[in-house]
C-alpha cells in the first residue's frame, strides 16, 4: 500500500490543479493511471486479515465445533469487512462505516476488474482525497483493538 501512496498523492495534486483549486506546481505530466482502487483493495485485504485473524483466535463454541468437524465458520467466509469489523466488537464511527463499505465494494471488483460482473454494480462511487489518511488511522485503531503488532 505504501508504495502506491506517492502516486495517489500525485493523482490528487493533478486533480486539484486541473479543477483550479490549487496552482499547478510543476510541468510533470499527470499519472496515466489512478491506483486508488488498488490501494483500497490492499487496505481491505489487510483489514480483512486482521479481523479474521482475531475472530479465528476467539471462536464461539458453535464455531469451534464447526472447525473440529472440518468446516470453515461462516464468520470467516467472504470479504464483507464492515461486518467483520463489527464482529470483532469494535465501535465504528459513521465515517469508518462509510470507508469500510466503500472498501468492501473495491474488494469485490473495483480493485481487480475493469467492470462489475452485473449491471447492478454500475453505480456512483465516491473517492476522497483524504482516504489514505483515513485508512492509516483506521488500521492503527483496528490493530490496537485486536492486539496486532505494527507491520
DSSP labels, 98-116 = HHHHHHHHIIIIITT-SS-
Q: Give pLDDT tens digits for 42-53.
A: 999 999 999 999
On whether residue 7 sits in a domain, the answer given is no
Rounded Cα–Cα distance for residues 116 and 98 (Å): 20
Rounded Cα–Cα distance for residues 21 and 18 (Å): 8
Position 26 scores a pLDDT of 67
On whether residue 60 sits in a domain, the answer given is yes
Q: Give pLDDT tens digits for 97-147.
A: 999 999 998 998 888 888 888 888 788 777 888 899 999 999 999 999 999
On whether residue 28 sits in a domain, the answer given is no
Percentage of residues in the chain having pLDDT higher than 70: 93
On whether residue 5 sits in a domain, the answer given is no
On average, the pLDDT of the chain sits at: 88
Alpha-carbon torsion (59, 42, 146, 53), positive or negative: positive
Taking CA atoms, 128 is separated from 16, 94, 95, in Å, by: 12, 15, 12
Residue 21 scores a pLDDT above 80: no
On whether residue 121 sits in a domain, the answer given is yes
Containing domain of residue 111, as a range?
Answer: 35-146
- In the numeric block, which cell numbers belong to residue 40? 483500497
On whether residue 9 sits in a domain, the answer given is no
Domain count, the chain: 1
Residue 16 scores a pLDDT above 70: yes
On whether residue 4 sits in a domain, the answer given is no
Rounded Cα–Cα distance for residues 67 and 55 (Å): 13
- Alpha helix locations (H) across 30-93? 36-57, 61-68, 81-87
Percentage of residues in the chain having pLDDT higher than 90: 50
* Mean pLDDT on 83-105: 95
On whether residue 22 sits in a domain, the answer given is no
Rounded Cα–Cα distance for residues 92 and 142 (Å): 10
Amino acid at each position: 500500500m505504501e508504495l502506491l501512496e506517492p502516486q495517489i498523492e500525485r493523482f490528487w495534486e493533478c486533480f486539484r490543479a486541473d479543477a483550479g483549486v490549487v496552482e499547478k506546481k510543476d510541468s510533470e505530466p499527470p499519472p496515466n493511471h489512478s491506483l486508488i482502487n488498488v490501494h483500497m483493495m490492499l487496505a481491505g485485504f489487510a483489514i480483512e486479515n486482521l479481523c479474521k485473524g482475531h475472530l479465528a483466535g476467539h471462536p464461539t463454541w458453535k464455531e469451534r465445533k464447526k472447525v473440529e468437524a472440518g468446516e470453515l465458520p461462516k464468520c470467516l467466509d467472504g470479504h464483507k469487512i464492515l461486518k467483520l469489523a463489527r464482529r470483532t466488537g469494535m465501535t465504528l464511527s459513521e465515517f469508518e462505516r462509510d470507508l469500510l463499505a466503500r472498501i468492501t465494494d473495491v474488494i469485490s471488483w473495483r480493485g481487480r476488474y475493469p467492470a462489475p460482473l452485473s449491471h447492478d454494480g454500475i453505480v456512483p462511487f465516491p473517492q476522497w482525497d483524504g482516504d489514505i489518511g483515513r485508512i492509516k488511522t483506521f488500521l492503527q485503531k483496528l490493530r490496537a483493538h485486536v492486539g496486532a503488532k505494527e507491520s
